Structure 1
Amino acid sequence: MAAMSTPMDFVVFNLNDLHFFVQAIDAGGFAPASRRLGCPKSTVSKRVAELEAALGILLVHRTSRSFVLTDVGHEFYDHARAALIEAEAAEEVAHRRLSEPAGVVRMTASVPATQFRLARQLPMLARKYPKLQIRLHVTDRFVDLVQEGFDIAIRSHRAPLPDSGLLSRQIRVEPIVFVASADYLSRRGTPSVPSDLGTHDGLLIGASAADWTLFGPGGQKVSVSTIPRLFADESIALLRSAEAGLGIAALPRAIVESAIEDNRLVRVLPEWRAGNVTSTILTPHRRGQLPAVRAIIDFLAQDPSSNSKPATRLD
């Protein structure tokens, strides 16, 4: 009866010994390696000797005057150095996985902010951080983050936000521009100076906003009253009304840029704007320190069209 074959015996040694060996070779001796590693020379020498004992081979010829690799030592060094590089890479992968943002993050944002920004950004965010679960609540209502348990709110505002004790990060400032349909302009004429708006139909955000304040080149500032045609406190309604040829509207650039590209709207008085709208991310102070929340804030702030500013405390 034939003898059964046995598995090949593998030499088992401490991976740290490889590290001491490679450091000794790279440094050119035990003494310089000990200074580099911050440990006694005897420790380096002992660990290399233990490695040789485990392998059953001599890796280094050392005397009081020389420190030279043996032939097999040269070959072993190449593999040992490669093994350490791979070990460091494996450790880095593990650390990245452990630090990967994960968990549920509750967000709230307005309808326009969602339709014209977040709808594009959130799929990219979800792909980048697959362990995140985003729960987005879309409302134009002013949400109380702390009382209602939200981690992030995205607010668009023309005036500075009131003090609230929340952590804030401004992510975007964009101009409010004047737009109208080509059909409307062909019927009513195209304004060439701000005062021309006084003879045009205005699509206005509210009954108290019948006057537009315009900011132009060189810091110019003028106020103009239009002919009120329609009032709506919702941006999409104003956008659709402008596309339908009802008049001229003043809307944030992000809301109208697609309609301009598709020739549904035309810029009016392109060197002038009706102020700016600022987009700000708000978080309760403690939740703003969570890795998942920070990852989302950083992602949204990296939007190429945004000019983000550091976080500040609103209190």
Structure 2
Amino acid sequence: MKHNEQLDLNDYFYFFHVVEKRGFAPAGRALGIPKSRLSRHIEQLEARLDARLIQRTSRQFAITDVGKAFFRHAKAVVEEVRAAEAHVKQSKEALTGKIRLSCSVGVAQFALEGLIADFIKAHPNVEIGQFVTNDMVNLIEAGIDLAIRGHVDNLPDSTLIQKRVANVEWRLFASPRYLADFGHPASPDDLKDHKGLCLGWNSDIAQWNLRSDTGAESQIEFIPRLSSDDMVTLKSASASGLGIVSLPAYVCQSDVDAGRLEQILPGWSSGSATLSMVQPTRKGVLPAVSAFAEHISTELPKQVSIRPSSMP
């Protein structure tokens, strides 16, 4: 294409819809225009680019490799135009649109508790679809706008937009009933005489990796009375007096406040992790998504912090 040729964004728009709908006829029906008109626009686009984008016969519709690459750019152009229009409209109106959010079970049940409801109450024209799973979701394939992921090491996919939002401390907890029966551990070595619960459903031998506020370390192996990959199950079991459990401090916060659990060895951490916000792109993002991301960045650290009431 010559640099002085006029760019026709309609060609990008029509090509995007033809590929998205997998054919000229379905794209024409969706747009309400004849497929012959669509075909002419695609032919003009291919002639201007001097490249075949779509292989088409009476029985087959296939996108060439060049066409697939061009589609990614055409999609970005269409999304950017839509976002620009939405930004202008929504700058004069309340936030609107649907936000598709993905997070793990633990984050959904505890870290985001109240935060989603608060945002929707503040922006009643916004809808949020929450996909809760402990599996690593492909955000692009699943159409997710934003994900909250907990991790110890760096997240693997560097092509995504990643922002570290909060640090999470893990601590040891037990119920007052259990501590009355078996005593309060005064040091990590005392844990060898106690009963433990383990996160991970198939653990024959588990280990607490402890680190003190002064940097000392201690590893305590134990045979778990109960192992489960569900934090709620472990928290409830510990509150019932079954044993000591290592969990994120924010997960046990309400139980500590209510007196159902006590933190033990307060000078020792049983682990740490990071909560990061992940997005597939910053381009074409609706204002509602950006506002929700800012809300999470501000409020989530407060939600997962260790408050004074969690300390004995």
Query: Residue 187 in 1 paired to residue 184 in 2?
Result: no
The counterpart of 1:276, out of the listed 272, 277, 280, is 272
Q: Could you say which residue in structure 2 is the equivalent of 1:177?
A: 171
Q: Could you say which residue in structure 2 is the equivalent of 1:31?
A: none
TM-score by length of 2: 0.64
Rg (Cα) greater in structure: 1
* Alpha-carbon distance in structure 1 between the residues aligned to 2:112 and 2:214: 34
Q: Could you say which residue in structure 2 is the equivalent of 1:105?
A: 99
The counterpart of 2:128, out of the listed 123, 134, 137, is 134
Alpha-carbon contact 2:197-2:243 (below 8 Å) kept: yes
Deviation at 1:305, TM superposition (A): 1.2
The counterpart of 1:305, out of the listed 294, 302, 305, is 302
The counterpart of 1:224, out of the listed 220, 223, 226, is 220
TM-score by length of 1: 0.63
Note the residue ranges of structure 1 that are not aligned, 5 or more in a row: 1-93, 309-315
> C-alpha root-mean-square deviation of aligned residues, in Å?
2.3
Query: Residue 263 in 1 paired to residue 271 in 2?
Result: no
* Alpha-carbon distance in structure 2 between the residues aligned to 1:285 and 1:163: 13
Q: Could you say which residue in structure 1 is the equivalent of 2:290?
A: 294
Q: 1:143 to 1:298 in 2, by over 3 A?
A: same
Q: Could you say which residue in structure 2 is the equivalent of 1:144?
A: 138
The CA deviation string for residues 236-269 of structure 1, in whole angstroms up to 9 with x for no partner, is: 1111110111110000011001000000001110
Alpha-carbon contact 1:151-1:288 (below 8 Å) kept: no
Query: Residue 118 in 1 paired to residue 112 in 2?
Result: yes
Deviation at 1:208, TM superposition (A): 7.1
Alpha-carbon contact 1:166-1:283 (below 8 Å) kept: yes
Query: Residue 158 in 1 paired to residue 145 in 2?
Result: no
* Alpha-carbon distance in structure 2 between the residues aligned to 1:288 and 1:194: 51
Q: Could you say which residue in structure 1 is the equivalent of 2:235?
A: 239
Q: 1:144 to 1:95 in 2, by over 3 A?
A: closer
* Alpha-carbon distance in structure 2 between the residues aligned to 1:147 and 1:255: 30
Instruction: Report the 3-state secondary structure (helix = DSSP H, G, I; strand = E; otherwise coil) of the residue aligned with 1:305.
Output: helix
* Alpha-carbon distance in structure 1 between the residues aligned to 2:275 and 2:168: 8
Q: Identity over aligned residues, as a percent?
A: 33
Aligned length: 215
Which deviates more from structure 2 when the two are superposed, residues 208-217 or residues 249-258? 208-217
Deviation at 1:117, TM superposition (A): 2.7
Q: Could you say which residue in structure 1 is the equivalent of 2:4?
A: none
